[in-house]
């Protein structure tokens, strides 16, 4: 299957590539690169990426924003028949929202062993105690999703280290000036 000049083996890969494009937009904005698209009947009904820093809202995760947009577009609070494609395994908040919205299917790019709530730490999406369960497929374009996150955090760590070095050098320079002035600044 060829879509936008790329070859995909199936619709899951094609729509995950769209979620990856959203994650790219998040990274360009300095956000953690997570993207989501919601599909119904083979058509994308919403797309979003993390906007936590931009909006200064802890709930502005890609999945939450995509769910809100899909509900508005479809005019319903139920997303039955919809598939959510997300580059990183949803956290507890997002998994809960997907269950409450009654999403039919969830396709995950890469799992999140530190905060994932759809199979890693817990599995809210498949919990028999809840009134709805979501079919889950994981590992779609996993390497691309994982690499994207690793590159982002590696660059962020490098930037933090460089800033720390600059701050430390500035403090050392100020200390030297004070010492050279005999303690009188």
Supply the residues annotated as catalytic: 63
| 3 three-state secondary structure | strand
Going by the DSSP 8-state scheme, the letter that residue 18 receives in this structure is H
């Amino acid at each position: 299957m060829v879509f936008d000049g790329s070859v995909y083996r199936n619709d899951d890969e094609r729509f995950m590539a769209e979620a990856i494009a959203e994650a790219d937009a998040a990274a360009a904005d300095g956000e953690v690169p997570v993207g989501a698209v919601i599909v119904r009947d083979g058509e994308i009904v919403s797309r979003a990426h993390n906007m936590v820093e931009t909006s200064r809202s802890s709930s502005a995760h890609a999945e939450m924003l995509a769910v809100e947009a899909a509900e508005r577009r479809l005019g319903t609070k139920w997303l039955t028949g919809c598939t959510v494609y997300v580059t990183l395994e949803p956290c507890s908040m997002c998994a809960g929202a997907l269950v409450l919205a009654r999403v039919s299917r969830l396709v995950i790019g890469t799992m999140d062993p530190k905060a994932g709530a759809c199979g890693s730490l817990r599995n809210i999406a498949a919990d028999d105690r809840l009134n709805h369960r979501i079919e889950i497929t994981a590992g779609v374009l996993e390497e691309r999703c994982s690499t994207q996150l690793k590159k982002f955090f590696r660059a962020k760590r490098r930037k933090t280290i460089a800033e720390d070095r600059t701050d430390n050098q500035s403090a050392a320079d100020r200390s030297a000036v004070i010492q050279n002035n005999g303690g009188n600044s």
